[in-house]
Amino acid sequence: MLILFPFGYITVEKNPIQPVGISAIASVLVILFGWIIQGATEEIVTRGWLLNILSTKYNIGVGLLISSTLFGLMHLTNPNVNYIAVINIILVGLFYGLYVIKTNDLWAVCGMHSAWNFAQGNLFGFEVSGLDVSVGSLIDLNLVGSDFVTGGIFGPEAGITATCILLASIGILLFIDKKDIFQINL
């Protein structure tokens, strides 16, 4: 949002077909519960179970690569999927997996995953991994311009902007020492 909006890749929908703002709060709260279950389920399976099983049987690198790739491939049948979307979803899997490895905190990635889906679909009104979730949104925005940059009808996670942010985030995680960053000293 902070990159796409200032460069004119996002516009505000002037004639929304879904409830927006205060009139959407009830439906947005209901779907938030669904996002929490969906995000946590995918993370428990791919990061909580598969990553650990493969890391124990082979090594952490194999576990991370296979669980992240499977996570990306799980989205191949989503509407309007493209190669950037699959690559970005694999990168998200790598980011989440590295976060779990660095912090030993599966619940944080469950929250991140759910928050990402909720923000895309019901905070900003975008498609979520190609799925139209127009049951209500606090703001209804449109991605405009190059689909290569914005992700188009799949949503922001299919754009090269997301690729750059994900690569930077993975790079940061690779160099962070969890003792210094993730530990709260009381």
Average the pLDDT over 120-129 and give the result: 95
- Quick one: pLDDT band at residue 133, thresholds 50, 70, 90? confident
Q: Evaluate if residue 134 carries a pLDDT over 90.
A: no
Please tell me the predicted confidence (pLDDT) of residue 116. Answer: 97
The mean per-residue pLDDT over the stretch 31-37 comes to: 97
Q: Are 115 and 37 in contact (CB under 8 A)?
A: no
Residue 176 has pLDDT above 90, yes or no: no
Alpha-carbon distances of 180 from 48, 77, 102, 106, rounded to whole Å: 24, 41, 11, 19
Judge contact between 139 and 68, C-beta under 8 A: no
Whole-model pTM: value is 0.91
Q: Is the CB of residue 70 less than 8 Å from the CB of residue 46?
A: yes
Question: What count of residues does the chain have?
Answer: 186
